[in-house]
Every structure is written in C-alpha cells, then in structure tokens.
Structure 1
Amino acid sequence: MEETITGADTAQIPQQRGESLLETAVRYAEERHWDVFPGTWLETADGVQRCSCEDAGCAAPGAHPTRADWAAQATGSATVARRMWQKQPTASILLPTGRTFDVIEVPESAGFLALARMERMELTLGPVTLSPDRRMRFFVLPGASAKVPELLRKIGWSQSSLDLVALGEGAYVAAPPTRFAARGAVQWACRPTPANRWLPDAEELISPLAYACGRDR
C-alpha cells in the first residue's frame, strides 16, 4: 500500500489505500495528465476469482482491455474517466504507452538490482510499477521503444539476449491499484510525485537496466 503523501505533495497522486479505482483513475488523468481506459475486472464464482472476459485460460485476469478499440477509448479527461468507471467501478486501470510516456519492462529481480544501481548513480527516476506477474516497469519519455535496440547495441548488448522489453505506441500497462486474480495488486516501486513529473530519457536508464538484466540471466 502507498503511504500518505504529506505537505506540498498532498494533491499529487495520493495513497491508494482505501481509494476507489474510480477516484484513482480520475487522479491519474487530472493530476498526471495520463490517458486512462477501463479494462477487465475480477469476478468471484464458487469462491474463485476469474477474469470478466470469462476465458478460463486468461493470461492477465482482471487486467487487459475489454475491446479491440481500446486505444481510441483511452481518455485524458477526468470527467470522461469518472463517467467510464461509474459504469463499471471495479474495472482495472490501464494506461496506453507511446503517448505521455513509454515503458521499459524488466524482471522484478533485475528491476530491484537496477534501482539500487540507479540510486548509487544518483539518477532521476520517473514512476516505476511492480506487478504481481513479477515484472517491473520504468516510465520514460515517449520514443523509447524505437531507440532501445540501438541504445543496447551501443553498449554491447542485443535486445534478444536480454529479458528487457520497451513498450510504446499500441501497448499499455496496468496501473496501481489494479488487481491480478489470486496474485495481488500492481504497486508503485517509485510512486508519481511532483519531483518525477519530468520523465527520464531511455538513454539515461538503459545502461543500469541492461547490466541488471545481464546479471539476472
């Protein structure tokens, strides 16, 4: 759970504890200017949580789009977001990448190693999520998905040799406090604050991320 943000940060993406998905989605649109769209949700049948898509083999239960035109559905309007979640208050919160941010995704173990290294390097980070699927996602400036292969090549890595994925236009990530069936909720490893409103470029983070993924193989 997120801790209460105090002082000047109070109005900026507050704690998730006890806050509805609706209010959180509205805050992402209103305070961070992120596009949001509602995804699937969890339903309980015979004591078992299942995805609302009703696919018994769903790979991301409770955390994927409900329709093919999800990209057109995404909105940066707090008013529209509120209306969307009022229709389905338990819908997951999904954020399209390739708009206000791209995402670099790595395994959880590599992500924690990279975070420690970045702290020592005194790098400025954007928000970072930690998901129940044991993946960590680093928010960076848009355009990263196109640049990452060449950035990796320049430091001696090929993208195919690392478990490192750059998500840009046409992709999305689940945002806290979205829940995955039986696996828990998406959390912030580095929460959104006024200090990280300006996102880092992929070039600033690629070296420690590649190093951590190489160590994690």
Structure 2
Amino acid sequence: MERKGRFSQWLRRPRSGTGGDADTGAGAAGAREDLLLAAAAAGFPLAPAAYPSGYGCSCDRIGCPTPARHPVSFAWQTQATTDPEKVRQWLRAQPEANFITATGIAHDVLDVPADAGRLALERLGEAGVEVGPVATSSADLQQSRMLFFTATRGTPEDEDEWWPCELDCHPETMDEHPGLRWHCRASYVLVPPARLPGDGRVAWLLGPERPLPDPLTLLETLTDACARFAGSEQEHHTAAWPMGN
C-alpha cells in the first residue's frame, strides 16, 4: 500500500506547463528519476538504453533499425538491476538515456497494437479482470503499442510451454495470434518514461505499483482483440536489438 501511495504522489507532481519545479529542467529530471525508481522499486530490472539524437539514435550504429529502443550494452541482461543507487549513477552519467526493463526475470510483457489494447482493457474491465501495470508506446499511428506487464512464467518445467518473445515476429504465427508479442526470457521493453524519435513517448497508463497478474488471465482477451484489428494494422517488424538467445 505504501508503494502504491508513493507512486500516486509522483504521478500527481506538477508537469511541464503546470507551474512549480517541473517547469525547470531540474524539476523534470527529478520527476523522471522518481518514475524510474518507482519501476525499480516494483521489482523491474532496469538497464540503460539509447535515446533520440536528432532524427535518429544516440548509438553509433549507422542506420540503426530501432532508434532509441535498444539497450546501450550487449551485456544488458547481466546489467539489469533494481538497485536504486545504480539507477541514479546511470542517470547522472547519461541524463538523456532511456531505460529498458529485462523481462523473464520478475515480469513478462504482453505487447499488442494500441487499438487492440484499448479494446482489451475495456473488455477486461467489464469482466472484472484485474489488470496490472500498462504502458503505452506511441511512435506513430502504425507503430503505437500497448504493453501489459504480467507475472513471469520464468522457466516452466515443461519446456514446450515456453512461449518465446519472437512470437508473431514471423508470418507463420500471424493467423493464430495476430499482432501479439510475449516478451519473456532474453527480451526487454522500454520502461516509462522514455522518449522516441519525433514526438514519440513511452508512458504509464496504469502504474507499476499494481500487482502483476498471471499472463494467462489476459491472453485470450488480448488475442481476440488483436484478431479484430489484424486486417487494419500494419505489422510492426522492428526486431529487438541486441537480442539474446
């Protein structure tokens, strides 16, 4: 309850244009740090990620296919931590950095097109199903996504039950589960707040203080919602980088 109260207070802090310290660079940086520390306090392992630079990415990769959406280091899986002091050190060293959260350790993420996510939220609410943290990722109209944070399936005893994060990255999976990706072992997502090229943002819709639901309680509704919008959605093929195996 204390964590929930603290996160709610952070969300109510003044934002740009509302007056107060948030109208200054220091105030905005402080609010951003608070939100990242809230994610770490919720048990989400964090690691530094690239950020927008001009029209591209802060990394030195020419023609980066996932600008501002990937970890800085190939060692991100071992770097990822919930240690607040380490997160503060990274922020001091690179104030503009985005952050990723490594999935399959403390949580998984069900990643769907934004339209499908909004429909699923409505249906889940009507059914009285508890939804955990939810983030929105708005890059452009064809790449807007909604991220549903869930408990992790970890390493099931039956290896056949493992559902890899590459689900739906390949055409043969589209008929069965159109538009949905399950980020688990060896994957990651950007954690709010994050900036994308242009005016894109990753932001919390429902904060990380919420309990993590079992992913299977959301899966059918999310899959059905994705199927409804499959005909109008242009599939987003940007692969996570760098990916582990």
Class of the TM-score when normalised by the shorter of the 2 chains: 0.7 to 0.9
Change (3 A) 1:122 1:199: same
Match of 2:43 among 27, 33, 53: 33
Secondary structure at 1:173 match in 2: strand
Match of 1:204 in 2: 217
Match of 2:146 in 1: 136
Distance 1:61 1:70 in 2: 17
Is 1:86–2:92 an aligned residue pair? yes
1:142 counterpart letter in structure 2: T
Aligned residues: 195
**Contact 2:48-2:97 within 8 A present in 1 as well:** yes
Unaligned runs of 5+ in 2: 16-21, 23-27, 164-171, 231-245
Is 1:214–2:224 an aligned residue pair? no
Alignment of 1:88-127 (within 5 A): 88-127=94-133
Secondary structure at 1:200 match in 2: coil
Secondary structure at 2:69 match in 1: coil
Secondary structure at 2:174 match in 1: helix
**Contact 2:36-2:192 within 8 A present in 1 as well:** no
Match of 1:173 in 2: 189
| Pairwise CA distance, 1:129 | 1.0
Distance 2:4 2:181 in 1: 31
**Contact 2:116-2:229 within 8 A present in 1 as well:** yes
Unaligned runs of 5+ in 1: 1-6, 150-157
| Pairwise CA distance, 1:128 | 0.9
Change (3 A) 1:148 1:115: farther
**Contact 1:145-1:167 within 8 A present in 2 as well:** no
1:34 counterpart letter in structure 2: F
| Pairwise CA distance, 1:164 | 1.1
1:205 counterpart letter in structure 2: L
| Pairwise CA distance, 1:56 | 4.9
Change (3 A) 1:104 1:8: closer
| Pairwise CA distance, 1:175 | 1.4
Is 1:60–2:73 an aligned residue pair? no
Match of 1:186 in 2: 202
Cα RMSD after superposing both structures: 2.4
Distance 1:124 1:104 in 2: 15
Question: What are the Cα deviations for residues 57-113 of structure 1, in whole angstroms up to 9, with x where unaligned?
Answer: 323322211121111111110011111111101100211100110011111111111
**Contact 1:145-1:168 within 8 A present in 2 as well:** no
Match of 2:179 in 1: 163
Question: What are the Cα deviations for residues 26-61 of structure 1, in whole angstroms up to 9, with x where unaligned?
Answer: 2322x31221111112223xxxx3211144532332
1:186 counterpart letter in structure 2: V
Change (3 A) 1:128 1:148: farther
In percent, how many aligned pairs have the same letter? 29
TM-score normalized by structure 2?
0.72
